[in-house]
Amino acid sequence: MPAVIISNGGGREYPGNLTPFVTVTCIVAAMGGLIFGYDIGISGGVTSMDPFLEKFFPSVYRKKNSDKTVNQYCQYDSQTLTMFTSSLYLAALLSSLVASTITRRFGRKLSMLFGGLLFLVGALINGFAQRVWMLIVGRILLGFGIGFANQSVPLYLSEMAPYRYRGALNIVFQLSITVGILVANVLNYFFAKIKGGWGWRLSLGGAMVPALIITIGSLVLPDTPNSMIERGDRDQAKAQLKRVRGVDDVEDEFNDLVAASEASSLVEHPWKNLLQRKYRPHLTMAVLIPFFQQLTGINVIMFYAPVLFSSIGFKDDAALMSAVITGVVNVVATCVSIYGVDKWGRRVLFLEGGVQMLICQAIVAAAIGAKFGIDGNPGDLPKWYAIVVVLFICIYVAAFAWSWGPLGWLVPSEIFPLEIRSAAQSINVSVNMLFTFLIAQVFLQMLCHMKFGLFIFFAFFVLVMSFFIYFFLPETKGIPIEEMSQVWRSHPFWSRFVEHADAGVQMKGASKV
């Protein structure tokens, strides 16, 4: 990576403060996570509401309410219902590839604006939907919006934040996702009680609120100094950097940003460049971290929480309330990550969270297996059993919320050199959405056929990903974003891929500015 100067102290230290300006800016930008979180929470809630199922998915409604002998694991198994949920993630995958070019050429702000507008239109269509095709078209537009927002917001936060606080400020994005999930769960709980059965319209149409927040926010936010330099506005970028850092002495950081941008401008094909040997560690992380994040099984809990709780014997109200409880845990545990990520480091949180999730998944699988067996007919469930299942699911959610949840977005966004940053972030978002789509597409069938073994399936991947983190992910805490290449050169495995001669090139580049 250009313009990196390696010192004995572990990297150059740039002066700067956590100013109120940058704090407010990052919080407003992170609200882009609300649209993603709200959708995750709302989709599982409305698909457990009888009026919604009766109108759009009558076969599921009949299976759920008429045939009491049906296997509980299979009552929601419907390809049309699955397409309603998962179509959004396929659209997000496609739009994130387009968003890469817009983010690189026109700045992070414009990409956020497109995301907010597309999500707004999708929410309107879903709120007024009369046919299944309207629901799916609305979901596709929501997906386009999420693809743009998830591509640009983490980059914006990593570039705007002072490196000492980058982890905490970036995780505000994940916090806003969890707040979106919680708000959606609470609204589902109350809207489901509306007489007349039209509460689901308010749930789906309510997505307009987070869409307006990110749309208006993108119009008032300043652009990042990195993005300004990338587009040739150096004087304005330097003034912006002084404002963001709260000090006048920004020469070292500014020169490193300029050198990185000059190297970036020489790259004509960033997508092709990603395949170069020296970017092997970056590409590996861009693919495997979001891949593993989805295979923790978290989306099974989050966007199917009410359906899942209903399937394991909770009444509809109880299922929605259980989803609210897990939503609260999600928000609180994410705050733990904000506190600890720049204090304890990324690896500690990743590994502790992995162990905690593994234990909880084994216990939940045993609990569900003991009561439901293979036939999926548990009879009457005692209250203590329900409490145990919800308790260990909450402990599992807490582990995810302070480890793989926020760090799955933070780490990829902070490790990419500027010349491949937009393209690599697009791969990160695309892989995330691809596996979210695939899991959403097959989850209800997997629940029907694998039954409680589904939790064992995800527990296996949690074990694998924990080993991956232990052996292959270097610690990135406290490293300036434009100096991140040093962590790869000092890593026992990745150093063989990163060219050591690159260090000399970078010091030469730094001396020219």
Q: At what angle do helices 32-46 and 20-30 cross, to 10 degrees?
A: 30
C-alpha span between 55 and 337 (Å, rounded): 41
DSSP string, 332-374: HHHHHHHHHHHHH-HHHHHHHHHHHHHHHHHHHHHHHHHHHTT
Question: Rg (Cα) of the chain, in Å, rounded?
Answer: 23
Least confident of 238-252, 262-276, 474-488: 262-276
Contact 417, 2 (CB under 8 A): yes
Higher pLDDT, 503 or 16: 16
pLDDT tens column, 337-395: 999 999 999 999 999 999 999 999 898 888 877 776 666 555 566 777 777 877 888 89
| Residue 329 pLDDT level (bands cut at 50, 70, 90) | very high
C-alpha span between 439 and 461 (Å, rounded): 13
| Residue 6 pLDDT level (bands cut at 50, 70, 90) | very low
For the record, the structure tokens of 50 come out as: 């009888």
Has residue 481 got a pLDDT over 60? yes
For the segment 35-48, the average pLDDT, to the nearest whole number, is 84
pLDDT at 71: 60
pLDDT tens column, 171-202: 888 899 889 989 998 898 899 888 888 999 99
pTM value? 0.78
pLDDT at 58: 86
Nearest CA among 201, 185, 187 for reference residue 55: 201
pLDDT at 17: 77
- In this prediction, what percent of the chain has a pLDDT beyond 90? 28
pLDDT tens column, 212-239: 999 998 898 888 898 888 888 888 999 9
pLDDT at 326: 83
Has residue 240 got a pLDDT over 80? yes
